[in-house]
Structure formats: structure tokens, C-alpha cells
Structure 1
Amino acid sequence: MKFFVNVIIKFILLILFALASGTSALPLKDAFKDNFQIGVALANRDIRNSRVTDIVNIEFNVVVAEFGMKMANVLPEQGIYNFTWTDEFFDFAKENGQVVVGHTLVWHKAIPDWFFLDAKGQKLKRDQLLLKLQRHINTYVGRYRGQVLGWDVVNEAFNYDGSFRNSPWLEIIGEDYIEKAFEFAHQADPNAELYYNDYGLVSPKKHASVVALVKRLKKKAIPIHAVGIQGHYSLTYPDLKALDKTIARFANLGVKVMITELDVSVLPFPGPEDRGEDAEINVARAQQLNPYPEQLSEEAMQQFTNRYRDLFRVFLKHSNSISRVTFWGLTDAHTWRNNWPIPGRADYPLLYDRALKPKPVVKALLELIEARDSYIHL
């Protein structure tokens, strides 16, 4: 009886919060429930911020750790794990009825240098690193066995030209390090979904390499359940027809597709001359590269809204293949895009503004799902 009372109280509080804060009348997770799950990435601070968690609990049914589950955070010292925050993250998700996607097991960043060295400081050999990786995955994935929807097993392993990204994993183990990581993850949690995740997958050569990877894993009967297409987009990138074809090609391989890390930058992308360590940007150029230091113009907000709407038209066209769309953050106040690739810039790529108020795009997405025949054709 007490459980049901608590559920009712929580439901009433969420409604009151929605009315007070201006969140959408119909939560995004409910609006899109017949199409795909709606997820959000959370930073370490977010699950301790009640204003953020109240919105998250209304709008989203999948949560991903933006940084907190990467190796450098859970394994800060050789052989010493720190699961304090990750345990808290899983408890938060369980308490609020969300599922967790683990991000990420193998990446070329956020890895302590000593992970690739032996006790004498010498570079590990192939078999040594494989054993170390297997033990790490057994420890990490095994701890949360049965508690995750799936894992981003390998993240960003290819360059735009389709070649393997240079990393200690590739240098020491070889190209099959990806296969081994998937094998180890499946052994550690046979019921977890396993994903490959990368950006720029509309690029033909990079796309072809990931297609070849999926085929190789499937031929060897190594489980891979989905490809994550990172959605770090802009008002002009990617071409919608190219995105449409990219999703279809992955779906034709017999794996699910996920749109991950979704955000839409409204800023002009700087050229190489603007980003060098010694680059000096004059006042006029700095203003061009940071056109909205305080807030978006009405015109830019409309362009932003239209862009998200067009992207979701593509996603909805492929809703039979797309299992999840995950936004890479909740609020513009704490997006990585504010300072990349030039420090100090203000960007506006997410659904909620710096005051945690929903932008017009939220209403636009809800209206889109109501007009069910509007996304059949691009």
C-alpha cells in the first residue's frame, strides 16, 4: 500500500513540476513510445541536481553517463576501482524507472597511460594487454550484470578515410582488438546488448569500414546488436538524404540503429586558421565565430527548431530500425559545445536553455509526432 501511495505522490509532484517549469505536457518518452526510446546523457553533477533530475524523470526513459563511466573515472589508479558515482548513477536510474546504457568500455581517450604498461613501466605485449582488458571488462561489466540495457563496447575506432584510428589498442593488440572487446563484454554479461558507436558515419569511407566491421563480427558469430550513429550535428550537417541512406544501410545488416550523442550546433564551424595553438583571432572574426554570446536570435531559434524537426522526420521514417535517440545533455548551460573547438564560445545545441526552460523545439517535436504522415517522405 505504501508503495502505491508513494507512486501516486511522485506522479502528482511531477505534474506540478511540469506545470511550473514549462516542460512538455506530454513527456517525450511517451510521445515517441511507439517509435523509439528517448535518452539523455548526464554529467556527474546532474544526478545531484533536483531541478535537472525532475526534468529527466519526466521526459526520458534511458540515461547515459556523459563522462562518469569512462575508464579514467572508474579506474583512477592501477588496480583500484572507484564505483562510488557509477553505483549512485545505477541507483538513480533504478529508483526512477530508467534504463542505463554503459558508455564506454574501449576508447582512445580517457584511458590512464599506465593501463598499457607493466609493473616496470614497459609497454605491454599483445597477450598481456588482452588479459588486462578482459579482466577489466569482467570486473566492470560484471559488477552491473543484468542492470544495463547495453554497452558502447568500442567507441570511435575509425578515421574519416576508413582507416583504423591510431591508438595503443591498435598498436599493441592489432585490428582484432574490437572483436576481442565484444567477445569479453558478451562473456561478462551475455544478456546485455553490445554496440559500436562512432561519429561522422555519413562519410562514405568511414561508413564502409563500420559496415565491414559489423559483417566481420556477425560472420564470426560475435554478438553485436546495434550501431550508434553519433549525432553531433549542425544547422547544415549532415545532408538529410545521406543520413537517410546511412541509417538504411546499417539496418540492412540486421542490427539495430541508435542515434546517440545528439546535439545541434548553431555556430559557424571555424577553419583550421582559427584553431591553431598560435592562432590570433581579431575582434571581428571572434564575433563571427561567436555570434550569440548572450542568447539566440529569433531567426536562429527558428532555424534550430526546423533543423531538429527535419532530423526527426528522418528518424521517424526509420522507426522500425531505430531503437533509441539520445540527446547529449539536457541544458545549453553545460554542453561540451560551448567551448569546442574554440574556448569561450556560447552554443545552444540542446532542448533546454540555460535556465532549464524547454525551447520551442520541444513543442515542435510533439507536434511532429502528432502529424504522423508528415515524415513518410523526405
Structure 2
Amino acid sequence: MQKKKRLLYLGLAGFCLGFMQKSEPALKDAYKKDFYVGAALNNRQISGQDAQATALIKQQFNTISPENLLKWGPVHPQPDKYNFKPADDYVAFGQQNRMFIVGHTLLWHQQTPNWVFEGENGQPASREVLLKRLEDHINTVVGRYKGKIGGWDVVNEAIDDQKGDLRKTKWVEILGEDFAAKAFEYAHKADPKAELYYNDYSLYRPEKREGVIKLVKGLQAKGIKVAAIGMQGHYGLTKPTIAQVEESIVAFSKLGVHVNFTELDIDVLPNPSRRQGADIAETFGADVKYNVYTTGLPDSVQQQLTKRYADLFALFRKHRDVIDRITLWGVTDSDSWLNDWPIKGRTSYPLLFNRQYQPKPAFRAVMQAAK
């Protein structure tokens, strides 16, 4: 009898959540004349293990990005092994729900297995060997989803944080400065109709902005089309300023490219890092002074978060002629990478939906900004 009561309770709870979500206004509808609004998905959501999040995704968003499953390490862990099941499920989910599907990412210095850069006897791979591996990888992955994935983050985070120069990575060391051009060429060949993007964080900073402008101009000089620059929106409550973000939107649009905000979240917690965005190599040990809201977000901070999102979406809407897509980096607060970066185990509150899958005041403000 107890088991039956429990099952009835769970059923009613699920029905109530579904009813609340159905009655909730949708971001994708509010901004349908402006730009796509989406989220980055994890494996639990794609596989159906997190049914509540899946329902929220279907209701709220019309574009999706994969948080990890299309990065080189997860999809191509060994030279002769590809792991396509999670990616296949991700693409199928997007197709079934008529969403604009994004591929992330083809060339990055992180989450790329060591074997990619290794030659014989532990020596670095030659330029020829690494180019062949890059071409084979892009041809296989992009080719598999040709006509299904609408746009690819081809090159990710290739500009140094400090001076705006090319980041010193194994890609640059072995291939030289044309590594990005080669990646874009291979991606275009594998799917000529897919949009191709450059993606990076802290692009509100003048040094990085100029570095990306130089990179994109170099690609354009070779006849390579960059459809959009992805500005990762890993921001804080006060930094960067709205004016700083807007300066980069305007500067990039002058290149004849569009702008996507690809990884939007707002870190409300004290941060030991230099707050320059999202360098995942920059981590710190646990410290209670950087995890101050373990029992909930104070109302004063909730109000700051709400205003921050409202101001950002007002800016996005102002520049909707050059902005194609806004993607939140996660669905609910519990999904966010900021619970574990730059310190593991924190309780973070960076998104529009809380840990109970309910809209936060920031969500209401974003909906209001659409009017």
C-alpha cells in the first residue's frame, strides 16, 4: 500500500511540474523575432535521465549546444576509436524538437588527448602527421552530421589572455600560425553549408578583442568565411560593464560577421581568479570564503543577478541585427560548471532556473526585456 501511495505521489508531482512548465512563458517565443535562445546540454539531459530538465529544454529553447560530448577527448578518445552514441543522441534530440543544433568544438588546446600531438618514440608529431589527424577528425565528425548540425565552433580559445597574441599551444608549436585556417578549410569541405564560428572568452577586453579581429581578418584574407564570433558570456555581477560588452559587439560586426553569445552565465560568488572568463586550467583549493551561499541566495544578490540579466538581454536585443544566438551554459543552477570551477563543490546560482527547475526572478526580467 505504501508503495502505491509513493508512486501516486511521484506521478502527481511530475504532473504538477509539467503543468507549471506548460503554463510558463517561453524564452524562444519571447525572442523569436530577435535571435535563437538556447542552452548547453549534458549527457543526463540528452539520455533522458533528467526528465524534468528535458521537459524544460523542450519548452524554453530553440537551439542547443553540447557541453562536452563533441569535444575531441569524449568523441575521439583513441586514434582508431570514436564514441558517437552520445553525440548521435544529442543530434537526434535537436532534430526531433526542430532546434538549431550547434557543434562544439573541433580544435581546442584543452580536452584533446595526448596521442593527437605525439609521434613515434614519444617525440612530438610532425606537422604533416598532425594536419592529417586534424583533417581526418574534422572530416569524420563534421561529415557524420552534415546537414544536421547547423553551425560549428571550429576553433576555440586560441587567443592569449594577456596580450592578445596567439595562445602558445601544441597546435601552434607544431602547425604554425595557419592552424586555424586549416581547421576552417577542413570544416567547410566536410559540410559546405554549415556555419563556421570562432569562439572565445573575455572578448570584452580590448587586448583579446584586437587579437580575435586580427585572427579573423587573416582568415578572411585567405577567402575563409567566418559566419560569427562566439563571445563566451562568463560574466560577473558587475564586470564587465555593459559598455565593454557592447564595444566588442560593434567592433566584431564591422568585420562583416555576426555575433553569438555562446556560454552565458553570471557568477554571483566571490572569485579567487582574475575574473578573465573561463580558463579551465586556473583552479584553486577549497575555501569557505569563496562558497558563501550554501543555504540559498540572499535577496539582495538575487536582485543584482536579476538586473544583470535584464541589462544584458536589453543589450542583446538592441543589437539583434547582428546577434543570431544566445546560449546559456547549462539549464538549471545544479547543471552549471561554476559549481566546480574555479573551486570544486561550490553552490553556485548563475542561470535562469533554480535547482528545483523553477524560473528565478532573473527569468521574469529577461522575459520583460523582450517586450
If the length of structure 2 is used for normalisation, what is the TM-score? 0.90
Change (3 A) 1:78 1:336: same
Q: Does the 8 A contact of 2:69 with 2:75 survive in 1?
A: yes
Q: Does the 8 A contact of 1:24 with 1:363 survive in 2?
A: no
Change (3 A) 1:266 1:298: same
1:147 match: 148
Q: Which stretch of the first structure deviates more once superposed, 117-126 or 127-136?
A: 117-126
What is the SS of the residue equivalent to 1:153?
strand
Q: Does 1:269 align with 2:268?
A: no
Q: Which runs of 5+ in 2 are unaligned?
A: 1-14, 275-280
Distance across 1 between alignment mates of 2:113 and 2:312: 37
Change (3 A) 1:23 1:262: farther
Distance across 2 between alignment mates of 1:200 and 1:268: 18
1:29 counterpart letter in structure 2: K
Q: Does the 8 A contact of 1:264 with 1:349 survive in 2?
A: yes
If the length of structure 1 is used for normalisation, what is the TM-score? 0.88
Q: Does 1:38 align with 2:37?
A: yes
| 2:219 counterpart (203, 217, 220) | 217
Change (3 A) 1:278 1:266: closer
Distance across 1 between alignment mates of 2:323 and 2:284: 43
Change (3 A) 1:23 1:156: farther
> How far is 1:118 from its partner?
3.1
Structure 1 residue runs of 4+, over 6 Å off?
A: 16-19, 275-280
Q: Does the 8 A contact of 2:283 with 2:343 survive in 1?
A: no
What is the SS of the residue equivalent to 1:20?
helix
> How far is 1:278 from its partner?
9.1
1:332 match: 333
> How far is 1:136 from its partner?
1.0
Distance across 1 between alignment mates of 2:254 and 2:28: 26
1:38-77 alignment runs, 5 A limit: 38-47=37-46, 48=48, 49-77=50-78
| 2:174 counterpart (172, 175, 192) | 172
> How far is 1:119 from its partner?
5.2
What is the SS of the residue equivalent to 1:292?
coil
1:347 counterpart letter in structure 2: S
Distance across 1 between alignment mates of 2:120 and 2:129: 12
Q: Does the 8 A contact of 1:194 with 1:224 survive in 2?
A: yes
Q: Which stretch of the first structure deviates more once superposed, 21-30 or 218-227?
A: 21-30
| 1:236 counterpart (235, 238, 243) | 238
Q: Does the 8 A contact of 2:314 with 2:370 survive in 1?
A: no
Distance across 2 between alignment mates of 1:365 and 1:210: 29
Distance across 2 between alignment mates of 1:40 and 1:357: 15
CA offset digits 1:311-357 (Å, max 9, x no partner): 11111111100000000001111211012112222110011111111
Distance across 2 between alignment mates of 1:244 and 1:276: 27
What is the SS of the residue equivalent to 1:224?
coil
Distance across 1 between alignment mates of 2:283 and 2:84: 36
1:39 counterpart letter in structure 2: G
CA RMSD of aligned residues (A): 1.9
2:304 counterpart letter in structure 1: Q
What is the SS of the residue equivalent to 1:315?
helix
What is the SS of the residue equivalent to 1:33?
coil
Change (3 A) 1:17 1:230: farther
Q: Does the 8 A contact of 2:310 with 2:366 survive in 1?
A: yes
Q: Does the 8 A contact of 1:23 with 1:55 survive in 2?
A: no
> How far is 1:22 from its partner?
4.7
2:361 counterpart letter in structure 1: P
Q: Does the 8 A contact of 1:17 with 1:54 survive in 2?
A: no
1:7-156 alignment runs, 5 A limit: 20-22=19-21, 25-47=24-46, 48=48, 49-118=50-119, 120-156=121-157
> How far is 1:309 from its partner?
0.4
1:289 match: 290
1:186 match: 188
1:206 match: 208
Q: What is the percent sequence identity of the aligned residues?
A: 44
Q: Does the 8 A contact of 1:41 with 1:330 survive in 2?
A: yes
Q: Does 1:369 align with 2:370?
A: yes
CA offset digits 1:115-153 (Å, max 9, x no partner): 112354432111111111111111110000011110000
Q: Does the 8 A contact of 2:150 with 2:195 survive in 1?
A: yes
> How far is 1:97 from its partner?
1.3
2:28 counterpart letter in structure 1: K
CA offset digits 1:268-313 (Å, max 9, x no partner): 11258xx9989685xxxx2x32221121011111110001001111
Distance across 1 between alignment mates of 2:155 and 2:254: 21
